[in-house]
Amino acid sequence: MNHARRVKPRAYSSAVREQKARATRARIIEAAGRLFLTKGYAGSSVESIAAGAGVAAETVYLHFGTKPKLLAALLDIALAGDDAPVALLDRTWMRSVLRIPDAPGRVRALARNTRRMLDRLGPIHAVMRSAAPLEPEIAELARLHARRRIQGQATLVEWIAEPAGLRPGLSQGEATERFFALTSPELHHLFARELGWSARRYEQWLTGALLAELLV
Written as one string, the DSSP assignment of the chain is -HHHHHHHHHHHHHHHHHHHHHHHHHHHHHHHHHHHHHHTTTT--HHHHHHHHTS-HHHHHHHHSSHHHHHHHHHHHHHHSS--S--GGGSHHHHGGGG--SHHHHHHHHHHHHHHHHHHHHHHHHHHHHHTTT-HHHHHHHHHHHHHHHHHHHHHHHHHHTTT-SSTT--HHHHHHHHHHHT-HHHHHIIIIIS---HHHHHHHHHHHHHHHHT-
Are residue 117 and residue 56 in the same domain, yes or no? no
Instruction: Please tell me the predicted confidence (pLDDT) of residue 7.
Output: 52
Say whether both 58 and 73 belong to one domain: no
pLDDT in tens, the chain (216 residues): 455 555 555 655 678 888 888 899 999 999 999 999 999 999 999 999 999 999 999 999 999 999 999 999 999 998 888 888 888 889 998 999 999 999 999 999 999 999 999 999 999 999 999 999 989 999 999 999 999 999 999 999 999 999 999 999 999 999 999 999 999 999 999 999 999 999 999 999 999 999 999 998
What is the domain count for the chain?
Answer: 2
Domain boundary among 20, 50, 65: 65
144 in the same domain as 38: no
Looking at the fold, whether 103 and 37 belong to one and the same domain comes out as no
Whether 52 and 38 have beta carbons less than 8 Å apart is answered as no
Which CATH number belongs to the domain containing residue 181 in this structure? 1.10.357
Statement to judge: residues 38 and 54 lie in one domain: yes
pLDDT at 83: 80
CATH, residue 12: 1.10.10.60
At residue 148, the pLDDT reads 94
Does residue 131 sit in the same domain as residue 26? Answer: no
Same domain, 116 and 104: yes
pLDDT at residue number 9:
55
Q: Provide the residue range defining the domain that includes 10.
A: 1-65
Does residue 123 share a domain with residue 45? no
The answer to whether residues 94 and 125 belong to one domain is yes
End-to-end CA gap in the chain: 70
